[in-house]
Each structure stands twice: as structure tokens, then as C-alpha cells.
Amino acid sequence: NAGVTQTPKFQVLKTGQSMTLQCAQDMNHEYMSWYRQDPGMGLRLIHYSVGAGITDQGEVPNGYNVSRSTTEDFPLRLLSAAPSQTSVYFCASSYRQGVRTEAFFGQGTRLTVV
Amino acid sequence: KQEVTQIPAALSVPEGENLVLNCSFTDSAIYNLQWFRQDPGKGLTSLLLIQSSQREQTSGRLNASLDKSSGRSTLYIAASQPGDSATYLCAVEEGGFKTIFGAGTRLFVKA
């Protein structure tokens, strides 16, 4: 019963490096999203997807790319890492059944950019 | 632009107290409101989900209310315990699955 799986759990990058944060869900949910959490600021939406092949920008999309080629996977790419991208990143998936929607979160990826 | 505010930012109470956490949002056109719990260094766990047509939801010692017209929700925790210590996050879904979070309330329950 995996739910939402994020890898890696921890990562240190040098400024200018690129990397991909992985997110996979096994619940066949349509909707997936990426958030970053900074101290005292709650979670801010980076990008989201309402289904395979469909993505859209959230509140803070600059410096990040996403794609959704399958229902299960929603990777987040940092194109050229900057210290301002040091944060904890959470992936979430949601389902809607009638009028009910519920979100499930991964355990997070703690990223440090030096 | 939807903004979600949680008050207080931090709260410390003795064990056994009943307490209320507040959440307000600026745009009442929401699809639902969800309360989450987050333990240090961990992900988010869903506590209660209130659809826009509902007024409240209950789960054990937790009760969440929603007043959509005034843009407010409260999370009531009865008979608090040290194990309730965590950060509590409020999130509103605007429709199209776009969800906006508040900054959270850090709760510490003293034994």
C-alpha cells in the first residue's frame, strides 16, 4: 500500500546543477501536484496536473519544469538550481469521487542548494 | 488571488484543554476545505475534509466547521493530549484541483 512515493528523501546540489525529483502514486489518481514548503510560509503550489498529458502552473513555477506522461508519475525538474530553491518539496495526488476530493501527500524531499 | 490565513501561528496549552484553531480565506468560491496534520520532518496527514456544501465534519476528538460565506473554518480539538503536538494546516481547493494552503498553526500540548 505505497500511496505517494517521493525520491530522493534528501539531496544537496551545487548552484547551477540540474536534477529531477521523482513522484509516483499507485492509487490511479487523476490529479497530482508539487509544493514547496519554506519556514513560516506553509505550502506553495509549484505545478499541477489534472491528468496525463496536462500540466499547469501554480503560484511559484519559475525555475521548475514538469511533465505527466503517465497517470502514475509526475517528476519535477530543476533546470539550474539556485540557493533560493533550498526547501522541502512535497508531491501530492488527489481523487474526486462525486463531490468528494481528498489529497494524499508523499513524505517530502529536503533539497539544499549550496 | 486566494489567500489562506491561519491564526494563531503558534499555540502552547496544558494537557486536557479544549482548543480552537482558526483558518480564513479570501475567496468564498471554494470546492472544499481540508485540515492536515504535519509532524516535524514528515509529510502531511489528512484529518478532516469539508465539502463546500457542508457545515462541519467530526472525527474522534476533532471537529471542523466551515462558514463559506464569511470565509472561515475552525478546527476544534477536545481534551488535548501531548500526542496532538504538531503543525496543523488548513487548505482550500478552488476547483480544478488547485489547492492553496495556509502557513499553519504550531501546537504544543504540555504534559
Q: Is the pLDDT of residue B37 over 90?
A: yes
B38's grid cell: 504535519
CB pair distance less than 8 Å for B49 and A48: no
Determine the Cα angle at A25 with ends A20 and A28, to 5°: 135
**At B6, phi and psi to the nearest 5?**
-120, 135
- The reported pLDDT for the residue numbered B56 is 94
- The reported pLDDT for the residue numbered A99 is 62
3-class state of residue B84 by DSSP: helix
Of the candidates A30, A48, A106, the beta carbon closest to that of B98 is on A48
**Do A16 and A84 form a contact (C-beta atoms < 8 A)?**
no
Tens digits of residue pLDDT in A56-102: 999 899 999 999 999 999 999 999 999 999 999 999 998 877 666 77
Tens digits of residue pLDDT in B40-89: 888 888 899 998 889 999 999 999 999 999 999 999 999 999 999 999 99
DSSP annotation of B91 reads: E
Of the candidates A40, A100, A107, the beta carbon closest to that of B51 is on A100
Distance separating alpha carbons of residues B102 and A62, to the nearest angstrom: 21
